Homo-oligomer: A and B are copies of this chain.
Amino acid sequence: MEEILGIQEIKACPIRYVLAINDTLNVISGKWKLPIIGSILFGKKRFTEIQRNIAKITPRMLSKELKELELNGIVTRNVYDTTPVSVEYELSESGKNIVEVLDKMVDWGLSHRKSIMGENQK
């Protein structure tokens, strides 16, 4: 029943629904966006802290992705006038809410894994 509702929403399929899905995908797809979101999910962090948090990310990628996330309103960049300047990155409200999407993805991912295991045991 719940599934049918979802289907009908997509069935109506106005362009803005497709756009909304794409917006969401753009925020979370790519190799580094999720790790970055994960890293600042429980509080603001500085550039180098995030970098230390995420194994193998290069400063180039971190800088590039943070800029993109900021531009898209997912991350807020706070510059403090200390010497030397310190910069903290934080999730916006929207950024925090994405957790709801991630939770659904975890649910689906886990149940899909289970269903595949079941197949293999047949």
Contacts and interface: CB of A to CB of B under 8 A. Distances in A.
Interface of A: 2-3, 6-7, 9-11, 13, 16-17, 19-25, 27-29, 34, 38, 41-42, 73, 92-94, 96-113, 115-116, 119
- In the assembly, how many copies of this chain are there? 2
Q: Is the interface of A mostly helix, strand, loop or mixed?
A: helix
Contacts of A96: 3
22 contacts: A3-B97, A7-B99, A10-B41, A10-B99, A10-B102, A11-B41, A11-B42, A20-B108, A24-B106, A24-B112, A25-B28, A25-B29, A25-B105, A27-B112, A29-B29, A73-B115, A93-B115, A94-B108, A94-B111, A94-B115, A94-B116, A101-B108
